[in-house]
Amino acid sequence: MTGTFHHRQEWLRREAEVQLRDRLLPSWQKRVLHRFAAERDNGLFPLLNQFAPHTPRKRPDLVLVGRMGVLVVLLRETEPDWEDSRAAFVWTAELLAGASIGSGLLSESVLRSVVVHPVEHTGRKGRSADHLAITGDEIDRLLKHGERILTSDEALSLAKHLDSRTFDLVPIMWNSEPVPRQRGSVPEVLQEPVPPAARRPFRDWRYFLDDAQLGAVRRSYSGPAQISGPAGTGKTTLALHRLAYLARRGAGKLLYTAPLPWIPERVAWRFEEMAPELSGQVEFRSLHAWARDFLVGRGRSADVDEQEVRRAFDAVWTRDDVLHRLRNSREYWKDEVDRVIKGRGISSFDAYRTLSRKGRGGQLPRDFRPHAWRFYCDYERELSERGVLDDNDVLKRALVELERRPLPRQYAGVVVDEAQELTVIGLRLAHAISGDGPDQLLLVGDGQQQVLTGGWRLSEAGISLRGRGEVLRHDYRNRDAVLQRAGQVVAINRFDEEPALPLSAALPVRVGGQVVEWHGEDQESALLSALLAREADSSAAVITETDAAAEHWLGVLRRSGVAARPLSGWDGRGTGDVLVGTSSHAKGSEFRSVFLPAEPADGSRADHETHQRRRLAAMTRARDLLWLAHLH
Ligand SMILES: Nc1ncnc2c1ncn2[C@@H]1O[C@H](COP(=O)(O)OP(=O)(O)OP(=O)(O)O)[C@@H](O)[C@H]1O
């Protein structure tokens, strides 16, 4: 820091003293304000509540707009009520709602609540769910550390926005005219290198949203609502912002859930990155884990012995000689039992006989249903003789238990991500957990990416959307070339979306990208050399359709000395390893490069429709490079 700069700060501080001389503020508060005012050349713009120190309840004493974002400040001798600090936050957030700077609309994550106490304060300090508490001598910590989210010009334009929206806040030491820069010296922070966020082609998802996303975050829905849109359009991002929005309005506990067990953990980590102070207010749990914990809490058994369930199914499959002949695919008939019969809560042959099986592929003789039903009944008998429950049983039990005795305290809101993968029973359970009230259930999904068997309507689960929801269309993940290629995959949407927007209609935000279509015989060496040729330390995944292929490729990479690990069990945090797994294990993730080896179409492969959707889901995990193998 230069001497001239120190001198200038001192001059600003004295100017502030003069400006605030006649305000009847306690001297410690004045000292705090002088300190903030001295940072004007560093792009800090304070706005003081005109009634301070008699600021009305639920309003901030001071709002600071700077490169670190917006600080909602309470100047207090004692710890404020959490309702007060939260209400001050919400009041400021509402004033800023929809403020647009650069390429995005501001999200509430740029705001932080801070309580500044006098230096002698001996009470609680540090971070809590509602604010950061510091004393007057710790202000440097607040100003010098942490991420730089805004440029000085953006901070000024936000400060002006606040100034124009309310008479309650008055600028100190700056006004709506451009702030004159001092000649001759360059403040320290302006010499810092450009932060990575500003070098990106678009802004950080934590702080900037597009108008459709922001609209849905803030909208009030009178009942269950749906967020849909093609891959990469920021559906999960929106869901996280909405959870934070609801959490900040203090309505109670919130639940983020998804049918695929690995998704909540990966997404919880993103939420933690965006709003660490709120993480205690949102539960991140898969629907199965929720059902299991709920049943155990009610003293009921809920364990699924997956090995034993597999053995029960295999015992029936080995004895069977009819279904084998109709379609020799264990996965197909397992889906028929799990997803079509049990998953839809079908409990009589009559109901099954007339059931619509849209999307299950044709080519079965007309009279296959009695055989499939017998198979299902045999499987149920096997389970009960072995005394085991499968996943559907657990969801069903939880549903029955909830209907018998509802939750003592309802969630304020439930978000179900990857909703297209739910069975009807799963949907009913999610609905029973959330209830039907305003803002209580938000379904997030994209039918084109459904990797599990589907084909039912929300009305089967008693859910009515009545047009409540949003369709997102800007793809923030896939570069243009990747998006164009993935958009060519014919993937039929069987999920109940109104209207359903296909990937081919998504609008790319990021230009460029590369798609390599490799044709040949030796795909192992081709994939390895493509993998090794990528930029060092860039994230990469090899995505397969089947578990067997994933295991095969994991072995190939490891034998060749490539650090690789399975996608299953990965929590979504950055890793230098190449991740390997199926398209369903790849859900909830994205990589700079994605490699899709060719797989022989054998009996273990899903029906064509599902295969196509899995391919689309896998391709759209790629941000910059998509490598596709075609065997001769
Ligand atoms: N408004 C935004 N500004 C910048 N980046 C964004 C924005 N919205 C989303 N993103 C980024 O785009 C990528 C995709 O977002 P997200 O995972 O939320 O999409 P999605 O629609 O849920 O995807 P999918 O259905 O494929 O799982 C993420 O890297 C996210 O950070």
ipTM for the predicted complex comes to 0.99
Mean pLDDT of 77-104: 88
Q: Which of 20-24, 282-286, 341-345 is the least confident region?
A: 20-24
Token code pair at residue 263? 């998704």
Domains 210-299+408-472 and 513-631 agree in fold: yes
Do residues 5 and 187 touch, judged by C-beta distance below 8 A? yes
Distance of CA 111 to the CA centre of its chain: 19
pLDDT at 176: 55
pLDDT at 365: 78
Please say if the pLDDT value at position 121 is more than 70: yes
**Residues, the chain:** 632
Distance CA 174, CA 38 (A): 11
With CA atoms as reference, report the closest residue to 260 among 281, 240, 294, 285.
285
Asked whether 446 lines ligand 1 (CB < 6 A), one says: yes
pLDDT bucket at 395, cuts 50 / 70 / 90:
very high
Please say if the pLDDT value at position 61 is more than 80: yes
CA of 417 to the centre of ligand 1 (A): 13
Asked whether 205 lines ligand 1 (CB < 6 A), one says: yes
CA of 133 to the centre of ligand 1 (A): 33
With CA atoms as reference, report the closest residue to 109 among 232, 273, 264, 219.
273
Which atom of ligand 1 is nearest the CA belonging to 209?
1
Asked whether 583 lines ligand 1 (CB < 6 A), one says: no
Please say if the pLDDT value at position 197 is more than 50: no
Pocket residue to mutate for ligand 1, from 237, 420, 448, 475, most atoms within 8 A of Cβ: 237
Q: Which of 134-148, 269-283, 322-336, 575-589 is the least confident region?
A: 134-148
**Domain map (residue ranges) of the chain:** 3-196, 210-299+408-472, 307-388, 513-631
Please say if the pLDDT value at position 622 is more than 90: yes
Asked whether 213 lines ligand 1 (CB < 6 A), one says: yes
pLDDT at 522: 94
Asked whether 242 lines ligand 1 (CB < 6 A), one says: no
- Helices and strands per DSSP (H, E), number in the chain: 22, 24
User: For residue 584, what are the contacts with CB-CB under 8 A and spacing of at least 6?
Assistant: 260, 451, 452, 614, 617
Q: How far is CA 377 from CA 347, 349, 371, in A?
A: 10, 10, 10
Please say if the pLDDT value at position 190 is more than 90: no
- Residue 184: DSSP 8-state: S
Cα four-point dihedral sign 364, 368, 371, 377: positive
pLDDT (tens digit, 9 = 90+) per residue, 287-313? 999 999 999 999 998 999 999 999 999
pLDDT at 598: 95
Residue type, 590: E
pLDDT bucket at 361, cuts 50 / 70 / 90:
confident
Residue nearest to atom 29 of ligand 1 (CA): 477
CA of 205 to the centre of ligand 1 (A): 7
**Number of other residues whose CB lies within 10 A of the CB of residue 83:** 12
User: What interhelical angle do 235-248 and 263-274 show, nearest 10?
Assistant: 60
Asked whether 234 lines ligand 1 (CB < 6 A), one says: yes
Distance CA 629, CA 140 (A): 55
**Number of other residues whose CB lies within 10 A of the CB of residue 298:** 14
Do residues 283 and 256 touch, judged by C-beta distance below 8 A? yes
Q: Which CATH number fits domain 210-299+408-472: 3.30.300.30, 3.40.50.300, 3.30.1200.10, 3.40.50.2300?
A: 3.40.50.300
Q: pTM to 2 decimals?
A: 0.90
Q: For the purposes of burial, counting CB atoms within 10 Å of the CB of 276, is it exposed (0-12), middle (13-18) or buried (19 or more)?
A: exposed
Mean pLDDT computed over every residue of the chain: 89
Please say if the pLDDT value at position 407 is more than 60: yes
Distance CA 585, CA 214 (A): 29
Mean pLDDT of 14-31: 84
Pocket residue to mutate for ligand 1, from 228, 477, 493, most atoms within 8 A of Cβ: 477
Mean pLDDT of 193-205: 51
User: What interhelical angle do 235-248 and 211-218 show, nearest 10?
Assistant: 40
User: What interhelical angle do 608-619 and 480-487 show, nearest 10?
Assistant: 180
Cα four-point dihedral sign 616, 618, 621, 622: negative
pLDDT bucket at 191, cuts 50 / 70 / 90:
very low
Please say if the pLDDT value at position 9 is more than 80: no
pLDDT at 568: 92
Do residues 460 and 343 touch, judged by C-beta distance below 8 A? no
CA of 475 to the centre of ligand 1 (A): 7
Q: Which residues are annotated as a binding site for ATP?
A: 229-236
pLDDT at 40: 84
User: For residue 377, what are the contacts with CB-CB under 8 A and spacing of at least 6?
Assistant: none
Residue type, 164: S
pLDDT bucket at 187, cuts 50 / 70 / 90:
very low
pLDDT bucket at 5, cuts 50 / 70 / 90:
low
Distance of CA 96 to the CA centre of its chain: 23
Do residues 113 and 70 touch, judged by C-beta distance below 8 A? no
Q: Which of 182-196, 512-526, 528-542, 568-582 is the least confident region?
A: 182-196
Per-residue 3-state assignment (H helix, E strand, C coil) for 504-545: HHCEECCCCCEEEEEEECCHHHHHHHHHHHCCCCCCEEEEEC
Residue nearest to atom 7 of ligand 1 (CA): 205
pLDDT at 194: 37
pLDDT (tens digit, 9 = 90+) per residue, 315-354? 999 999 889 988 888 988 999 999 999 999 999 999 999 8
Please say if the pLDDT value at position 630 is more than 60: yes
DSSP state letters, 389-452:
--HHHHHHHHHHHHHHS--SS--SEEEETTGGG--HHHHHHHHHHH-SSTT-EEEEE-GGG--S
pLDDT (tens digit, 9 = 90+) per residue, 489-509? 998 888 876 778 999 999 999
Distance CA 59, CA 46 (A): 15
pLDDT at 401: 96
Please say if the pLDDT value at position 175 is more than 80: no
User: For residue 374, what are the contacts with CB-CB under 8 A and spacing of at least 6?
Assistant: none
With CA atoms as reference, report the closest residue to 137 among 114, 124, 158, 121.
121
Residue nearest to atom 6 of ligand 1 (CA): 205
Distance CA 223, CA 370 (A): 40
Asked whether 621 lines ligand 1 (CB < 6 A), one says: no
**Number of other residues whose CB lies within 10 A of the CB of residue 578:** 22
Please say if the pLDDT value at position 237 is more than 90: yes
Q: Which of 187-191, 278-282, 426-430 is the least confident region?
A: 187-191
Please say if the pLDDT value at position 601 is more than 50: yes
pLDDT (tens digit, 9 = 90+) per residue, 476-493? 999 999 999 999 999 888
- For domain 513-631, is the CATH number 3.40.50.720? no
Asked whether 584 lines ligand 1 (CB < 6 A), one says: no
Which of residues 15 and 630 earns the better pLDDT score?
Answer: 630
